[in-house]
Amino acid sequence: MGRHRRDAGSGVGRVGPALRHLGDRRKSRPQGLIWRSVMAYDETNVFARILKGEIPCRKVHEDEHILAFHDINPQAPVHVLVIPKGAYTDWDDFAQRASEAEIARFIRGVAHVGRLLGVDEPGYRVMSNKGVNGGQEVPHLHVHLFAGRKLGRMVPAESV
Ligand code: 5GP
């Protein structure tokens, strides 16, 4: 079954200096929730390589905690990806392991990017795919920010 994340460590220290600032997140885990082991973070995934500067991107915004860049295969007039700099595989991993401060910074960061892009009005869609059924291709947490036209249904009609 591969390594369990907590056996393997956070992976943060091994994905480069930009990702080391997050410290020991174990102290801030919310209590009373169900914890499941998740797959170890793949340090060679394409977004980890973008964060390390090994692969270029069309940057929209970067600060200490997040990076936002244009999707290479846009599905809307504006299609930007926002990622945390910490080594999290997906939304659930982030919810389980990130500190309250990291989660707040990420959510606020996504909204900040929406305003930077000038799409907060008339609006945009934020979406995060998780796992096989979610259609996730890149195993580093990211949200898609779509804008620039009316975006229609949330999922294809035939999928209900
Ligand atoms: P997912 O399906 O994992 O939610 O979305 C992954 C997204 O990453 C896709 O929309 C895909 O077009 C985008 N993507 C994959 N590789 C690259 C890349 O090298 N650069 C950029 N900018 N986007 C990428």
Whether residue 32 is contained in a domain is answered as no
Whether residue 113 is contained in a domain is answered as yes
What's the confidence (pLDDT) of residue 126? 98
Of 75-79, 109-113, 114-118, 152-156, least confident by mean pLDDT is 152-156
Cα separation of 99 and 88, whole Å? 12
Whether residue 154 is contained in a domain is answered as no
85-137 pLDDT tens trace: 999 999 999 999 999 999 999 999 999 999 999 999 999 999 999 999 999 99
The CB-side HSE value for 112 (13 A sphere, CA atoms) comes to 16
Q: Map residue 6 onto helix, strand or coil.
A: helix
> Would you call 83 exposed, middle or buried from its count of C-beta atoms within 10 A (0-12, 13-18, 19+)?
buried
For ligand 1, is residue 57 a contact (CB within 6 Å)? yes
Structural domain span for residue 96: 57-147
For ligand 1, is residue 82 a contact (CB within 6 Å)? no
> Cβ neighbours of residue 52 under 8 Å, at least 6 residues apart?
15, 16, 18
**Domain count along the chain:** 1
Which amino acid residue places its CA nearest to atom 17 of ligand 1? 72
24-60 pLDDT tens trace: 444 455 555 565 656 799 999 999 999 999 999 999 9
Confidence at 139, pLDDT banded by 50, 70, 90: very high
Whether residue 128 is contained in a domain is answered as yes
Whether residue 74 is contained in a domain is answered as yes
Atom of ligand 1 nearest to the CA of 129: 4
Whether residue 52 is contained in a domain is answered as no
What's the confidence (pLDDT) of residue 83? 98
Residue (of 66, 82, 63, 62) closest to 125 by Cα position: 82
Whether residue 121 is contained in a domain is answered as yes
Sign of CA dihedral 141, 74, 54, 134: positive
Would you call 142 a catalytic residue per the annotation? yes
Catalytic residue among 65, 112, 140, 142: 142
pTM score: 0.82
The one-character DSSP state at 132 is H
What's the confidence (pLDDT) of residue 153? 87
Domain at 82, CATH number: 3.30.428.10
Mutation choice for ligand 1 from 138, 142, 145, 155, CB with most ligand atoms inside 8 A = 138
Model confidence at 62: pLDDT above 60 = yes
Whether residue 4 is contained in a domain is answered as no
